[in-house]
Structure 1
């Protein structure tokens, strides 16, 4: 099959995902070499590498250096946020906590932030961009970003509230980013730009805008997460 549209790596990844869903590829199967896939799809080897990295980020394949690329167990990579604490309500509760706390945190950060705070927030953004470039999910830098904003709020109690739920926050951030990659209706890049918008509002000391951008971001996250919770 020849591929000739834009974002070639996504098209390649889509074909492989379809093969997995239709059981032409199953758990443990080894994919052909990058060179062989390149010839099969009629694209460059760099495109194949991008596609495989995207598939790895989505949980479809495991890349073992020196051995090859293998199809993973799909039952273990389904987006089941219930596994976080065994209860979907825990996820809903967390999203409510984030909406209540982080909107206020963003407003205060815009009011109270220092230049040093901006450097920390921007550092998290840079880490996030690096993760995108490497086709990693970047949930650690996502958490770092939100905690840096909490620091900038200069309210220790609010920061402590976020720290108390930071572990489960990072889990949901990871799953959210997997979902973004999996559905391809939203992209990690879009998520990144939502964070940039929050940062710019804080940098400009616009409390209302910072609050507005955080509300928008968290509503987007909530919609993606709750729409993709696996119910059994």
Structure 2
């Protein structure tokens, strides 16, 4: 087996371990602020090598679910809501999170070029899409389709078809992530979706002003925030580790 295929296999295995750990945390086996078992214990329990386990733990740290303290081990920082397991297809959570990372990079640059190159007609299409999202919030609707229309309009207005092609290549994964985050938001007070919509308006404002760097920053912040909201949990689940 080539080194490249072995790396891909290891990555897939670490994603599976990552999802198993997420489930254990969501189900409350490892409580907020509590120390995870040692790497030896976890690797034995999950029947994986320690390098594979470490890769999964690194993903959890990147997603702000756990925090590591030198010499002390890893601790649970936040517990995602049980609804994450209900809305996310089995085995998809790792892919959803990596898709958000992909989107932040690609769509951030698309927003930059959109702000610089967009026409007035294209700006109107973007403004129409954000009004559709406003209507969804007022009517307490999911709004996934309107969300897709909004982001696709920005990619098209970049006048670089590779941005649209890259996004289309990930369309099923992107839609899964959008459905997950918007379903989770519907479980929250209405102010949650209004906060998300405010992020959309920051993007549109920069595009209207033809401020490329601001559009890039606003888009990246919006998508990064969406990624973090997947594992936000309830306010009552806030970890004492957040306060240290």
| TM-score, structure 1 as length reference | 0.61
Over 4 Å off, 4+ runs: none
Q: CA 1:173 to 1:105, structure 2 compared with 1: closer, same or farther past 3 Å?
A: same
| 1:221 aligns to 2:203 (yes or no) | no
Displacement of 1:92 in angstroms is 2.1
1:37-74 residue CA offsets vs partner (Å, 9 max, x unmatched): xxxxxxxxxxxxxxxxxxxxxxxxxxxxxxxxxxxxxx
Contact 2:111 2:154 survives alignment (8 Å): yes
**Superposed CA RMSD:** 2.0
Q: State which of 81, 84, 94 in structure 1 corresponds to 2:99.
A: 94
Give aligned pairs, total.
Answer: 152
Indicate the residue corresponding to 1:187 in structure 2: 192
| 1:130 aligns to 2:141 (yes or no) | no
Unpaired runs of 5+ residues, structure 2, are 1-81, 234-244
| 1:79 aligns to 2:84 (yes or no) | yes
| 1:140 aligns to 2:145 (yes or no) | yes
Question: Which structure ranks higher in relative contact order (CA pairs < 8 Å, sequence separation ≥ 6)?
Answer: 2
Contact 1:81 1:172 survives alignment (8 Å): no
Contact 2:105 2:220 survives alignment (8 Å): no
Contact 1:81 1:91 survives alignment (8 Å): no
| 1:212 aligns to 2:212 (yes or no) | no
Q: Give 1:4-23 correspondences, 5 Å limit.
A: none
Indicate the residue corresponding to 1:150 in structure 2: 155
Q: Partners of 1:220 and 1:169 in 2: how far apart?
A: 15
Unpaired runs of 5+ residues, structure 1, are 1-76
| TM-score, structure 2 as length reference | 0.58
